[in-house]
Amino acid sequence: MADNTHERKEEQPDPPKPWRTEGLENSDTDVEGGGPRWPNWKRILLWSVVFYFGSFLVFSFLDSANAPVAVSYTEFQAQVQAENVERIYARGDSIEGTLRDAAAHPDSDDDYTSFTTERPTFATDDLLTALADGDAVVSATPVTDQRGTPLNLLLSFLPWILLIAFYVWMFRRMRKAGGAGGLFGGDKKKIKPVEKPRVDFDDVAGIDEVEDQVKEVVDFLANPEKYKKLGAKPPKGVLLTGAPGTGKTLLARATAGEADVPFFSASASEFIEMIVGVGAQRVRELFEEARKVAPSIIFIDEIDTIGRSRSSGRVVGGNDEREQTLNQILTEMDGFDGSEGVVVMAATNRADVLDPALTRPGRFDRQITVHAPDREGRESILEVHARGVAIGPDVDLGAIAAMTPGMTGAELANLVNEGAILAAKNEADHVTQRDLVMSLETVRLGVARNVVIPEEERRRTAYHEAGHALLGMLQPGADPVRTISIIPRGHALGVTVSTPDEDRYGYDEHYLRGRIIGALGGWAAEEAELGFTTTGVDNDLEQATNIARRMVGRWGMSEKVGAMTVLSDEGDPRTLGIAERTLADVDDEARRIIRECQVEAKQLLVEHRDKMDSIVEALMAHETLDEAQAYAAAGIPRPTQP
């Protein structure tokens, strides 16, 4: 599966959003939820302080520009005697006034017309008579205009006005988003134009049978009248299950792209917040906006995050926010009557833990399992991901597909990308087959470590890996050996890779015993060569133990235990009512199977010691052997493909 997407670079990234959208052609519809959008308090406080003090300085400057000049009472009397005083305002002993003609200030070189002075309390002059003789106007009104009462009130109450305005803004925000949702993530924002290129079924490969099942959803969204005419109701929900990386999200996007309808996608965990009720609020908003632009598709990824069974003992005490969110999804899906044109798609890799109310008919009507692709599917997927890569003429994607059984679409995409990175690192013009094979080794085996290994340790590792490889070659029906290496990768000093020619979907007891014998090859080789084992058998014994226990406890391959499931992925089998005696029988039978395989593994290596020595010498010389080199070194013909 390919996902041709790109990210839009912004100077400041948007805050997290509870969901994302594709396919909306305009930006005038309020359809996309936003995450917490708290205002920038530092900026608001800074501008409030700047505005307040700016206003204060401006009005103070205006007042100072019109302020009268302070003069002595002697200077004032001289102007009165000269009959140059035009008007005065007196309050107690304070006198303020203006002159008819500008006069020189006795203490400076500046002239003045407006003045203020203080009359001494001991003065005995008849000031009013002198002013009247000079035709001066005496009044109780200020000579200069003072700042008005409304402006004084405004400046006095400006901080309170700003505080009240903030509370009004906060109240409206809460009312718009529905209570606490407005404070903790319930805000909405205008949808922006589509940022991701839309995908369709041409971008999906390797899961043809799944495409056929979702094409009915596409047909309904594109031609709803055809179904309404016959009274048929479309599926309300489609549940996609499968392992991670199989392309569930891409398939949902392709469904919306093929039908050319808006696509709303969100991860279930994005609905959950610390505040109870926020998740349910976000679900309501999401379904409401999807209805506005119907027909449309809502996609919820990892729905098991909120959709776990409410009666499960795994959720001790419950989780109010998770359950409220789940209940809201159930309520919204019940509200569909088939005419809205909204289809809900969800994805999970744990369908077994979902609440039965979520998977019943009328909600998620269809459950589609998305498996890892087969060989032909892997080749198709590689072709899709190779579209934008400079592939060399020697590249055989069919051969790469044959070497990658069990790999998902995401892993194949990573494989192609690693090959391109390797080619670019080598400054090549195109990606070669060797680049892809080496990238497969890196993905599967790990990155090679540049460490110096003593010669004795290298030979011991060579015997260990030769034991694995030789037993894989000698076991009838075993997977062919693809690569043997004694180059340290990851935590391992050496690696042996065996994969089938064709995909396997079921395993019999004979094949599983062969797997255990192959896993014990390193242990048997060390016993045969050294007479003792090392810590290098740790992972081998773990694999052998897991296979043997599953054979007995899950697949009924033991007469003593019988055909019953004893071991489960759900935790301690004792909680399922399994008796201690039965568990002890499982351990005894698993130990018996491993002991029998140990004897057979050691016997085979002793009988074919010369072949093992030959593989060891080839590994010491070349460090890594491919499939042809490995079989040639052992002198064993490569098994033919069926």
As annotated, the active-site residues are 465
Q: Are 138 and 128 in contact (CB under 8 A)?
A: yes
CA dist 411 to 45, 241, 302, 483, Å? 51, 18, 19, 19
**39: preceding bond cis by omega (within 30 degrees):** no
Q: Which of 441, 615, 629, 623 is nearest to 522 (CA)?
A: 615
Say which residues have a Cβ less than 8 Å from residue 89's Cβ, sequence separation at least 6: 95, 96, 97, 139, 140, 141, 142, 143
Q: Are 290 and 332 in contact (CB under 8 A)?
A: no
Half-sphere exposure of 487 (CA within 13 A, CB side): 17
CA dist 43 to 49, 60, 92, Å? 10, 25, 48
Tell me the pairing of strands 263-267 and 296-301: parallel
**Helix %, strand %, coil % of the chain (to 5):** 50, 15, 40
Q: Are 633 and 496 in contact (CB under 8 A)?
A: no
Question: Residue for token digits 């069990």?
Answer: 406
Q: How crowded is residue 264: how many other Cβ atoms within 10 Å of its Cβ?
A: 27
Q: Are 534 and 515 in contact (CB under 8 A)?
A: no
76-106 burial: b if 16+ Cβ within 10 Å, else e = bbebbeeebbbbbbbeeeebbbbbbeebeee
User: Rounded to an integer, what distance in angstroms lies between the CA atom of residue 451 and that of residue 461?
Assistant: 14
Surface-to-core class of residue 12, CB atoms within 10 Å of its CB (0-12 exposed, 13-18 middle, 19+ buried)? exposed
Q: At what angle do helices 521-530 and 580-607 cross, to 10 degrees?
A: 50
Q: How crowded is residue 171: how many other Cβ atoms within 10 Å of its Cβ?
A: 11
Token pair, residue 124, equals 């005995």
Amino acid at 226: K
Collapsing DSSP to helix, strand or coil, 592 comes out as: helix
Say which residues have a Cβ less than 8 Å from residue 619's Cβ, sequence separation at least 6: 462, 465, 466, 484, 485, 486, 625
Give the rounded distance of the alpha carbon of 356 from its chain centre: 27
Largest CA distance in the chain: 144
User: Rounded to an integer, what distance in angstroms lies between the CA atom of residue 219 and that of residue 259?
Assistant: 7
User: Rounded to an integer, what distance in angstroms lies between the CA atom of residue 622 and that of residue 484?
Assistant: 10
Q: Are 541 and 523 in contact (CB under 8 A)?
A: yes
**Partner residues linked to 299 by β-bridges:** 265, 345
User: Rounded to an integer, what distance in angstroms lies between the CA atom of residue 137 and that of residue 122?
Assistant: 24
